[in-house]
Amino acid sequence: MHNRSRILKRTVQYVVIFAAIAFALFPVVWIISASINPGGTLYGQRLIPKNPTLDHYKVLFTDKRYPFVLWLWNSIKVSVTASLITVFLCALASYAFSRFHFRGRRTGLLTLLLIQMFPVMLAFVALYLLLLWIGKYLPFMGLNTHPGLILVYLGGALGFNTWLMKGYFDTIPHELEEAALIDGATRFQTFMKIIIPLARPILTVIFILTFIGDYSEYLLASIILTGTKKYTLAVGLNLFITSDYARHWGTFAAAAIIGSLPVLFLFFSLQKQIISGLTGGGVKG
Q: Are residues 31 and 76 in the same domain?
A: no
51 and 111 co-located in one domain: no
Please name which of 158, 267, 156, 161 lies closest in space to residue 221, comparing C-alpha atoms.
Answer: 156
Instruction: Write out pLDDT tens, residues 182-193.
Output: 888 888 899 998
**What is the number of domains present in the chain?**
2
Q: 65 and 18, same structural domain?
A: no
- 282: in domain: no
Same structural domain, 181 and 254:
yes
- The stretch 163-181 carries a mean pLDDT of 87
**79 domain residue, yes or no:** yes
CATH of the domain at 224: 1.10.3720.10
Q: Are residues 52 and 69 in the same domain?
A: no
- pLDDT band of residue 102 (cuts 50, 70, 90) is confident
Task: Go through 78-103 and write b for each residue having 16 or more CB atoms within 10 A of its CB, e for each that does not.
Answer: bbbbbbebbbeebbebbbbbbbeeee
DSSP annotation of 212 reads H
Both 145 and 18 in a single domain?
Answer: no
Domain contains 281:
no
Q: Which domain holds residue 9?
A: 2-56
Residue 285 forms part of a structural domain: no
pTM: 0.86
User: Do 129 and 19 fall within a single domain?
Assistant: no
122 in a domain, yes or no?
yes
Note whether residue 283 is domain-resident.
no
Over residues 36-77, the pLDDT tens digits come to 888 766 666 777 788 888 888 998 898 887 899 999 999 999
| pLDDT at site 245 | 55
